[in-house]
Amino acid sequence: MEIFARPSVGAGAKTLPAAWYISPDVFAQEQERIFRSEWLCVGREESLPRAGDFFTVERAGESLIVTRDAGGTVHAFYNVCRHRGTRLCSEESGHFTGSIQCPYHAWTYALDGKLKVARNMAEVPGFDPAGYPLKEARVALWEGFIFINLRPSLILRQAQDDNGSSNQDDTRPGQDTFERVFAPLIGRFSRWNVENLQTARSITYELACNWKLVFLNYSECYHCPLVHPQLDKLSPSDSGHNDLSEGAFLGGYSELRQHGTSLTTSGRSSREPLGSVGGDDLDRVYYYTIFPSLLLSLHPDYAMVHYCKPLAADLTKVVCAWLFDPNAMAKPDFDPTDVVEFWDLTNRQDWHVNELTQRGLNSRAYSPGPYSNAEGLLSAFDRHYLSIMGA
């Protein structure tokens, strides 16, 4: 049985000093300690329905090709040819017809990354195509989401194979596997059938603020009566209860004011509940931060996700997507507009105050302020973040 509680922030808990939000040096450290080391969500499996379908992503200064091979396995290949380092693919998405070919000298790779064709290399002494597959990041699939990990273990191991060097693998064996890191979440959301939901609509935003402000704002409703009157009308700001209150994953639920309502422009919905959602969950919305790249919102009749990508210390790209049961989407009268418009308004209200906060953090007048007891998850986020940053 899950125990839900509103965590106390503890005496003396305060916001972080401004440098953690505005410093380019801190942002550079984050790229190494967080975004090249943690599991990052890059999209949904539904984007790769067939072998050869692909999309490209940029994370922590790396370009990757995410694709599905003939056996159904999803790969995240570094977008780098093994011959001269040329970028293999410039398109955002598309379909490979059986292979991946470099546009420079036509080195050609199978969908599983193995080198198939290397023109004019057959007579080169000692050349073995088996030694030059595409390098790839680790991939994990969870609830229909695709996660990648850029920790250098595989690259270093391949570099050692290539040149016989003794580069030390800096990973901790078994400590950063997806199954171990995500153990608190595995199976937790099965009743929403998230794995089989489909994306009906998405909106991309660019925010003039630090990525951490997005996570912090999402984790409290202290601001909701002032910033989100439409949301507060349907879901009281003081109804939050948390079941994950420490570590990489934080969140819990807020209640709906009336039974049978939904967070839509009308406050109602004719859509059936997702999966096996029932009982108290019909009157709750669950909100979770999944450090450091995903916000997951589970509603009785739909799910919402925010994919977060830091671009600079003061610039963040957020893609908000709305997921529904594919059977509901197949109906002739399906229309997600009531959900999209409600949350687009709510998102923009949040982005506005996030950007105001970023401006204030740049002032010499700013100093860390005290967290309220309605902001316990923010203090928990800071603790986890600082531990990752070695502070």
Three-state SS annotation for the chain? CCCCECCCCCCCCECCCCHHHHCHHHHHHHHHHHHCCCEEEEEEHHHCCCCCEEEEEEECCEEEEEEECCCCCEEEEECCCCCCCCCCCCCCEEECCCEEECCCCCCEEECCCCEEECCCCCCCCCCCHHHCCCCEEEEEEECCEEEEECCCHHHHHHHHHHHCCCCCCCCCCCCCCHHHHCCCCCCCCHHHCHHHCEEEEEEEEEECCCHHHHHHHHCCCCCHHHHCHHHHHHCCCCCCEEEEECCCEEEEEEECCCCCCCCCCCCCCCCCCCCCCCHHHHHEEEEEEECCCEEEEECCCCEEEEEEEEEECCEEEEEEEEEECHHHHCCCCCCCHHHHHHHHHHHHHHHHHHHHHHHHHCCCCCCCCECCHHHHHHHHHHHHHHHHCCC
pLDDT at 12: 81
Amino acid 391: pLDDT: 87
| pLDDT more than 90, % of the chain | 90
CATH code for residues 192-388: 3.90.380.10
> What are the extents of the domains in the chain?
38-175, 192-388
High-pLDDT (> 70) share of the chain, % = 91
**Sign of the CA dihedral running 171, 174, 179, 184:** negative
* Chain CA centroid to CA 217, Å: 16
Is residue 309 within 8 Å of residue 277, measured between CB atoms?
Answer: no
> Which parts of the chain have pLDDT scores under 50?
1-7, 154-157, 159-160, 164-173
Give residue 378's pLDDT.
Answer: 98
pLDDT reported for residue 42: 98
Look at residue 161 in the predicted model and tell me its pLDDT.
53
Per-residue pLDDT, 162: 56
CA angle centred on 39, ends 33 and 41, rounded to 5°: 125
CATH code linked to domain 38-175: 2.102.10.10
Tokens 């409600």 found at = 342
- The whole-number pLDDT of residue 176 equals 87
